[in-house]
Amino acid sequence: MVFSADSSVVQSPYFILAVLALPLLSLVLGQMNQRMASPLLSIADRWLRWGVFAFCTAFICEYLQLVDRPFWSLVVVFSLLWFVGETLLNWLSIHALSVSPMPLFPRYVANQIGDEWPTQRRTLALRDWLRAHGFKQAQAMKAEIGGGIYLRVSIYQNAEATLRVQMTFIPQASGAITVCFAAMSVTADGSRYVTDNLYVPFAGFYPEHWFVERGPLCRSLPRLLERHRRRMDAAKAVGAPFAVDPITDLNATQGELDRLNTELGFLHSHQDRGDLGKITHEGRYRVWKEIWMLNYLGRAAKYE
41 and 76 in a single domain? The answer is yes
Query: DSSP character for 279?
Result: B
Please identify, among 68, 99, 130, the residue that sits at the C-terminal boundary of a domain. Answer: 99
Using DSSP's 3-state secondary structure scheme, residue 299 falls into: coil
Task: Check whether residue 51 and residue 115 sit in a common domain.
Answer: no
Range of the domain at 23: 5-99
Q: How many helices (H) and strands (E) does the chain have?
A: 9, 8
Say how many C-beta atoms besides its own lie within 10 A of residue 34's C-beta: 14
**Does one domain contain both 158 and 265?**
yes
Q: What is the pLDDT along the chain (304 residues), one digit of tens a residue?
A: 334 434 555 556 666 666 667 677 777 777 666 666 677 888 888 998 998 899 889 888 887 888 888 888 999 999 999 999 999 999 999 999 999 998 999 999 999 887 778 777 888 899 999 999 999 999 999 998 877 788 899 999 999 999 999 999 987 766 677 889 999 999 999 999 999 999 889 999 999 999 999 999 898 999 999 999 999 999 999 999 999 999 999 999 999 999 999 999 999 999 999 999 999 999 999 999 999 999 999 888 765 4
Return the SS3 of 14.
helix
Strand bridging mode 192-196 / 136-146: unpaired
The half-sphere exposure of 257 on its side-chain side, counting CA atoms within 13 A, is: 17
Answer yes or no: do 125 and 162 share one domain: yes
How many C-beta atoms surround the C-beta of residue 182 within 10 A?
20
84 and 166 fall within a common domain: no
Residue 4 has a pLDDT of 45
Beta strands 149-157 and 210-214 are unpaired
Q: Where are the alpha helices (DSSP H) in the chain?
A: 8-11, 13-36, 39-63, 71-99, 121-132, 221-234, 246-263, 273-276, 281-297
Q: State whether residue 278 is helix, strand or coil.
A: coil
Query: Does 104 map to a domain?
Result: no
Of 46, 71, 99, which marks where a domain is finished? 99
pLDDT score of 240: 96
Contact 260/252 with Cβ under 8 angstroms? no
139 and 273 part of one domain: yes
How far is 156 from 137, CA to CA, in rounded Å? Answer: 4
Q: The whole model's pTM is what? A: 0.85
CA max distance for the chain = 75
In a domain, 33, yes or no: yes
Domain annotation covers residue 255:
yes
Q: Are 119 and 187 found together in one domain?
A: yes
Distance CA 220, CA 215 (A): 11
Total tally of structural domains belonging to the chain:
2
In this structure, the answer to whether residues 290 and 169 fall within a common structural domain is: yes
133 and 90 both lie in a single domain: no
Q: Are residues 208 and 286 part of one domain?
A: yes
DSSP state of 107: P
pLDDT given at position 10: 57
Give domain status of residue 174, yes or no: yes
Same domain, 211 and 271: yes
Quick check: 181 and 163 in contact, CB under 8 A? no
What pLDDT, on the 0 to 100 scale, is given for residue 50?
93
Does residue 265 sit in the same domain as residue 155?
yes
Contacts of 269 (CB under 8 A, 6+ apart): 262
Q: How far is CA 88 from the centre of its chain?
A: 19
How far lies 3's CA from each of 21, 67, 68, 71, 192, in Å? 21, 11, 10, 10, 63
Select from 75, 27, 70 the least CA-distant residue to 49.
27
Q: What is the DSSP secondary structure assignment for residue 69, as one 8-state letter?
A: S
Q: How far apart are CA 155 and CA 137, in angstroms?
A: 6
AA letter at 170: I
Residue 303 lies in a domain: no
Closest CA to 205 of 252, 250, 266, 249: 266
DSSP character at residue 183: E
Residue finishing a domain among 99, 126, 153: 99
